[in-house]
Amino acid sequence: MASHKIKIAARVRPRLEHEIDDEGIQVTHTSGAPSCISVPNPRDVSQIFNFPLSSCYDQNSTQEDIFERDVRPLIDVVYSGVTVTIFAYGVTSSGKTHTMQGTKAQPGVIPRVVEAMFEQKASLQRSSVELSVSYMEIYKDEVYDLLVNRETAPKLPVRENDAGQVFVANLTSFPIKSMEEFDRIYSQASRHRSVGATNLNRTSSRSHAVLTLEVMMTDSTAQRTLTGKMNLVDLAGSENNKLTGNDSTRMAESAAINKSLSVLGQVVHALNQGASRIPYRNSKLTRILQDALGGSSVGLLICNIAPGTKFRQDTLNTLNFAVRTKNVENRPVINERDNRPQPKPHFAAVQPAPAKLAPAVLHAIPVHASGSSAVATTTSNIAAVAGPSRGQRPSKVPRPSAVGPGLLPPLYSRPSSRPSSRPSIPEKMEPVTQLTDKEIDERIARAVEAEVARRLKEREEQERVEQARLQQEKENLALQEKQAVENVKAEPKLPSGVLSPLLKRHRDLDEELRARLAELEQKYERGNKELQLADVLSPASRKKTGRAYVALARAHSEKGDLDVALELYRKAETYVPDNVKLRERVLEIEWAVKNGKDFVPSPKKQRKVRGKKRKVAVERICEEATSLGQSSIGQSSLDDGEDGERGFGDGEGATIKVKEEYEGQTTIHETPAKRTRC
């Protein structure tokens, strides 16, 4: 069949109670032109968007109008052996479920389609018609069967057969004989569907529902079977969570619904762009609807529109999706099966090669054709004789071909100038038109024996070549070793005793290195212990401990025990690591110990006395003017800063001598004393 674009129908539902409607959405019908629906821009009401579509229905339209105009013509398409898909699309609470299911007073598309299909079945007299129904839902991107108990229903996988057709595995299908039987099955299955209440809809569908009606028409006269399908899809509506007031469970359902509808839009966009990859597999919904979107079925999209002002942006999104979808082209295919029995193949006809035979064994079977007849070969003894194949190598046996200048049957031989020991066969000989089974088996056995012999010969040849190669490698290796030994012998030898000093020096260096390493290890262990002890002390305690170790080290260094002194200095350095003078002292003692020298500490600098005079001795001489001569009255030591007058006797003519030492200079002062008592 030729390509077929998806047909679009738009329906505006009636205004609900307490719903604000500004009557901005208008449907216009013009003779000779497609219907058009007008929607104002919610951001700028002065701007009007027009959407020309195949069919447009206003708020006064009925269920019968939609069915008679857009759906009923598709019933004949189904009975012609083609798959038809009708799906309702729109925002939540826009009337999708009402359009598809309806009520008892106003039945929707699904019951009307089933009734019309039964009417069409009754009009077919020459064919045997069978109707069956299956019903499933896609809830949170998982497929469930609605014709079984919902509580125990397992998740169903989506598969693809060899012909590339997508199907749901293990989906239940019930045959139906009447409209009453369908109503009973459908009403019970609809109660299993997932629904929930939101702020926008008390019975909001929380899943996508797909009802499939399959009609199988068998024509015994023409010996063919036509299979048509009607897929009726009620899509869940896209939701704005700011308006629905969903809880956590409803939010998860809403996320799954919006994701699947988003992938549906991506698929439509990719089909319009002619992309190399169409993202059908990104969602179970698009995977199941793959045949309706750019596949081999006829499609009808019913866009349901809510007239309320709060749905205005969603209305524009729905109509934009409709405009993109109407450009998608499908290529419908008639599903026909030929019921005529296949003629049995002639026993001499060429059979297809079995998969278990290796190519080399298959090519080794000579098959000769003459005219329209051919020789059939059996492979039962081939598998028994040939055994497992080791790989695909081109066979040297000629492939089956007609007799010609290139390849000749084994019953013929080319004339040759070379003598041959075999008996010659007459050049002219009638061709064999038919062989018995025994002759065919004998030829197959001979061909298999020749092939096996050829393979054994090849294997022996390969083994012989491999052994020769290994032998040559052994000889080359022995020759190389012999040449190496000769080269070593030919090299001049060094005189004895030349390498002895070098070896001795290397041994000395090794011993020195080992000693140094041992010393470093001891130092490292010792330092770790001291560091652990120093970490737990306060700064003042560490300073006192360091001074104590320095005092002990100084005592040992004065005794000449430098090793113990060095050990104590190092411990002191652990407690006061920032002391530069201590570090210098450690380096000096290390050098003295390493070189075997005596340690001479650097002289200690003397402190300079600044600005004070120290009186060392004072001599007081009392002179008596009259009868006593000069006599020494007293001598005493005075403290620094005293004037030398206190504590001495009084006498006339007495003098005081003061001896002062200051910075290595000595000065004597004589001063007359006052008269005091001694």
Read off the pTM: 0.51
Strands of the sheet containing 655-662, edge to edge, are 630-636, 614-623, 655-662, 665-672
Apex CA 524: angle with CA 523 and CA 525, to 5°? 95
**Model confidence pLDDT, tens digit, residues 273-320:** 888 899 999 999 999 989 888 888 999 999 999 888 888 888 899 999
Q: Please, which pLDDT band fits residue 136 given cuts at 50, 70 and 90?
A: very high
CB 136 within 8 A of CB 145: yes
The pLDDT of residue 261 is above 70: yes
Binding residue numbers for ATP? 90-97
Examine residue 494 and state whether it is found in any structural domain, yes or no.
Answer: no
The pLDDT of residue 397 is above 80: no
Examine residue 163 and state whether it is found in any structural domain, yes or no.
Answer: yes
**Model confidence pLDDT, tens digit, residues 584-636:** 888 888 888 888 877 777 665 555 555 544 444 444 444 444 444 444 444 44
- CA–CA distance, 522 with 525 (Å, rounded to integer): 5
Examine residue 115 and state whether it is found in any structural domain, yes or no.
Answer: yes
**pLDDT for res 95:** 87
**pLDDT for res 26:** 87
- Contacts of residue 294, defined as CB under 8 A and 6 or more positions apart, other chains included, come to 267, 271, 278, 328, 329, 330
Residue-number span of the structural domain to which 271 is assigned: 4-338
Spatial CA neighbour of 13 closest among 60, 48, 55: 60
Examine residue 637 and state whether it is found in any structural domain, yes or no.
Answer: no
CB 141 within 8 A of CB 202: no
Spatial CA neighbour of 366 closest among 358, 357, 380, 376: 376
Number of domains in the chain: 2
Domain boundary among 576, 599, 622: 599
- CA–CA distance, 543 with 529 (Å, rounded to integer): 17
Name the percent of the chain lying above pLDDT 90: 24
- Three-state secondary-structure class, residue 107: strand
Examine residue 193 and state whether it is found in any structural domain, yes or no.
Answer: yes
Examine residue 660 and state whether it is found in any structural domain, yes or no.
Answer: no
Instruction: For residues 252-273, give the mean pLDDT.
Output: 88
The pLDDT of residue 121 is above 70: yes
Q: Please, which pLDDT band fits residue 131 given cuts at 50, 70 and 90?
A: very high
**Model confidence pLDDT, tens digit, residues 481-523:** 888 888 877 766 656 666 667 666 667 777 777 787 777 777 7
Binding residue numbers? 90-97
**Chain centroid to CA 348: how far?**
57
Residue environment code for 347-368, b if the CB has 16+ CB neighbours within 10 A, otherwise e:
eeeeeeeeeebbebbbbbbbbb
**pLDDT for res 319:** 92
**Model confidence pLDDT, tens digit, residues 139-188:** 888 999 999 987 888 899 999 888 888 899 999 999 999 999 999 999 99
**pLDDT for res 127:** 74
Examine residue 35 and state whether it is found in any structural domain, yes or no.
Answer: yes
Examine residue 427 and state whether it is found in any structural domain, yes or no.
Answer: no
Instruction: For residues 238-253, give the mean pLDDT.
Output: 71
Q: How is residue 2 written in tokens?
A: 């030729």
The helix-helix angle for 580-595 and 539-559 (nearest 10°) equals 30
Q: What is the DSSP letter of 238?
A: B
Q: Please, which pLDDT band fits residue 422 given cuts at 50, 70 and 90?
A: very low
Instruction: For residues 48-63, give the mean pLDDT.
Output: 90
CB 241 within 8 A of CB 256: no
The pLDDT of residue 240 is above 80: no
Instruction: For residues 100-126, give the mean pLDDT.
Output: 89
**CATH number of the domain within which 288 lies:** 3.40.850.10
Amino acid at residue number 3: S
Domain boundary among 338, 356, 386: 338
- CA–CA distance, 319 with 315 (Å, rounded to integer): 6
**Model confidence pLDDT, tens digit, residues 14-54:** 888 777 877 888 888 877 777 899 998 888 888 889 998 88
Mean pLDDT of the chain: 75
Domain boundary among 305, 338, 371: 338
**In Å, how far are 157, 159, 192 from 139, measured between CA atoms?**
13, 18, 12
The pLDDT of residue 408 is above 70: no
**pLDDT for res 357:** 40
- CA–CA distance, 132 with 117 (Å, rounded to integer): 11
